[in-house]
Structure 1
Amino acid sequence: MGRYDHLDESSVRERPSRRNTRPRSKDRPAHEDAVDGMVVGVDRGRYSVRVQERTVVAMRARELGRTRIVVGDRVAMVGNTTGAPDSLARIVRVEERRTVLRRSADDSDTVERVIVANADQLVVVTALADPEPRTRMVDRCLVAAYDAGMEPLLLLTKADLADPAGFLSHYAALDVPHVVSRGGSGGALDAAGVEEVGRHLAGRTSVLVGHSGVGKSTLVNALVPGTDRATGPVNEVTGRGRHTSSSAVALELADGGWVVDTPGVRSFGLGHVDPATFVQHFEDLAPGTALCPRGCSHDEPACGLDAWVAQRDDPHGADRLESLRRLLRSRSGEDRG
C-alpha cells in the first residue's frame, strides 16, 4: 500500500491563497493634502523643491514610475515637507507643463532630452570673441525656443573684444531683443549689461543656454550674489570653454522671477523638431514659402525662397536662407558640418 493510500479528500487541508485574500483597487490615492512646489535642482535622484520660503528635499514616489522630473516642474509632495535637515518628502504628482525646452543628442537622434519645464524665456548667451560666436548655434537655439513656445533673448558678452554690429545684423530681420555687455579687459560682463539683463528677467522664468566659457555662470553670480556658480577660462588650444556648471539649477531673483543656469553645451540637436516647421521659425523667410511648389523641401532648385530673398533685397537674406538650409540638411542627416 502506498504512503498516502489511507487518506481521502477530507484529510486534505487547503492553504488560503495569499493572492486573493485582499482585493486591490486600481484607484490611486488622491493626495488632496499634497503640498505644491517648484523643482529648482536635481541631484542623483533627489529633488530640491521650493515651497514658499523654504526648500524641501524630495524623492520620486514609486507610483510615478519612470516619469521624468526636471528643473522648473511644478510638483505635489506628501510626507515631511518642512524642509528640516535630513527630512525627505515624496513627489506624487507632476503638473502639466506650460512649456518644455528640449534638445536631442544630435540631429539624427529623435529622442528628446527635456532641459527645463515651464520657462518663459530662453536667453541665448554668446561671446563676441574668446570663444568666437557661432551663428549656427544661435539659430538652433532660436528654433528650439520657438518650438517650446518660449520668447528668445540674445545676450552678447565680451563686447570689449569685438564690435557686436556685424553679429546682430544677422538677426535684424527676426527682431529678436538683445543685450550687449561691454566688460573691461576681456571681462564677460559689466554693470550696465547686468542691470539691463535683470530688467528682461524680472518676473519671468528664464533659461540661460550657451557654449562653455561665454559667461553664463558669471552672469548668474552677478544677478544672484552669493550663488558662487563655478566659472572657468577658455581653453587656449581648442578655443572652447571648459564645462563649469554640471547641472541645471533655478535661482530666485531679488526683483521676482527665476533664472536657470544650465551646463555649457557644444551642440544643440534638433532631432525632436519636425523639419517642416523650421521655416516657420525664420519669420523673415516664412512668407516666401507662398512662392514654393507643393511639397517643397526648401532645399531644391525649384524652391521659391531664392526668388523671395532676391526681391526683398535684404543684404543678410541669403545668409539666413543658407542657415535654414544647413539646418534642414543637418536634420535630415545630409550635412554633419
Structure 2
Amino acid sequence: MDRDASKSDDEDDKSKEPSFTPGGVLFYVNKDGVPLSSKTLQKMWDHVAKVHPEGEKMVEGIQTSDSLPKVAIPQPPSFHPATSAATSPASKVQSIQHYMSQLQYNHTGMQFFEIKKTRPLAGLLEVAKDMIRESLPIKCLEAVILGIYLTNGTSNLHRFPISFKTSFSGHVHSHVVLGVCSSGRYGAMGMSRREDLMYKPLEFQSLSDLIYDFEESYASNFHTLRKVKIGWPVSHDPHSMETINWKATTLKMVKLSRPDVEKSLDKFVREMKTRHSWSSFQGSSYQHVKDFSPYSTSPRKEPFVGSHSLRNSRGYSPAVVFTSKDTEVESD
C-alpha cells in the first residue's frame, strides 16, 4: 500500500530534493541502470536521513561501521529441464516468491531498477537479469517483471498483471502484483510491505475468488479497495517486442456488487481465453534462465562506503528523477 505523490516521469528533477505532502512520500528512481554511482548512493542516504527517526546518526553509524554483517546473495530457483515437467506450477510459483522475498522489499526511498511500462517485453526481461545479478531489494513493479522472467517457459502457467487502487484516511494508494493461472486455479506473486498483499497460493478456483481475497487482505490493513485493473496474459517469448497490457479491464469495486464483479470477471476470463492462445509454449522450460548465469561475476565489485547495508555496491549512474504515478506503483 504505497503512497504515491511522485512527480512526473517527464520532469528532470535532479537538482531538487524530495518534498513531502500529507499522505504522500516521494521516492527516487534511478534512470541509468547499474552500477550505482557514489552520487546516486549519496542521494539515497540523504533521503533516508530525512525520513528515518534517527536521521543522520543512523546513516553515519552504518557508513562508518567496520563490522557490518555480510549479506548473503540469494540464489534464484533453478528448474532443470529434466525435472521441470515433474514440478508443479504451484511449487514453482512458491519457489520464485521465496526467492523474491529473500531479496527483500526496498525501503530506501530509491528504486534501483527503472521499469517503463511501455518498454517492450524483451527489454524489461533484461532489467530482470540485472535484478538477479545485483541482488538488491525491489518494489512491487520490479517484482512483477522479475516474476515474468522467472516463470518464462513454464508452458502451463499464464501470467497477467493485477493493479489495485485503494484509499486510507483520505489518501489514495497503488499496488501491483503478477496474477498467475494454471489448470483452472489462480494465484499471485509480488512484493509488498504486507505479507498478505503479495503472494497468494495457486489454489483459488476463480479469478473473482482471488480478487476478493486481496480485498479482505486490504480490509485487514484498514484500506478500502476502490479499483482493480487486470491486463492480458504476458507472452512467454523472451524476445517479444510486444508491450505488456496493464489494463484490459477495470473494476470499480466500490460501485459493483459481488455478483456483478463475478459476472464481469467470468466474462473477462472467457474473452482472455478466446483472444489469447493458452496453448503450450514451445521450447525448453527455463532455457533462457539457464543460458544466463548472473553469478559468473561477483555482484559486489568496487564497494562504496556504507553500501553493505544494501544488497550490492556496484551501483547506478547518477541520473535520478521522480517517478510518475501512472508509470510506477509502490506496494505496502
**TM-score, normalisation: structure 2:** 0.25
* Higher-Rg member (1/2): 1
Structure showing the higher strand proportion among its residues: 1
Higher relative CO (Cα under 8 Å, sequence separation at least 6) belongs to 2
